[in-house]
Amino acid sequence: MKIAVKDINEDPTVVEDTVSAADWDMDSTDTRFVDVIHMVGRFSLAGSEILADITVDMTKEITCCRCLDVTTRREKQHIVLSYERSKLGDTLDVDQDVREEILLNWPMKVLCSEECKGLDPETGEKIK
């Protein structure tokens, strides 16, 4: 998501962008991003800083670490970033920072649900 720095003022400027999940290469052994990542950013000037308030909408296909079921989950993530205006060029590109925030907020253990009890050690079937 790119925006011209000269277009940012005190009133929020809204920018929308869609990125192919494959372009960001964030898949792991237990999570695969599906389709596209949609972002809506609100950029505003606050003194000498530019504030970026971004909502990210994405769909993930996850493999539960307890029961090994594969589940598709749509998630939204709210990200707030700030940039020193004097250190920027003509364009502000937040893609790399948004990608990093998504990865930093990754759960240690991916679960299909908080209530998942995993697999029965004797039968190997999912515990209900």
**Mean pLDDT across the stretch 103-128?**
88
Instruction: Give the Å distances, CA to CA, from 74 to 7, 41, 63.
Output: 32, 19, 14
Rounded Cα–Cα distance for residues 50 and 88 (Å) = 10
pLDDT at 113: 87
75 within domain boundaries: yes
118 within domain boundaries: no
Residue 50, pLDDT above cutoff 90: yes
Structure tokens at 65: 């670490």
125 within domain boundaries: no
- Report yes or no: 86 and 98 within 8 Å, Cβ to Cβ: no
pLDDT at 107: 81
Residue 21, pLDDT above cutoff 90: no
- CA torsion sign for 94, 13, 40, 20 is negative
How many domains does the chain fold into? 1
123 within domain boundaries: no
Range of the domain at 44: 2-104
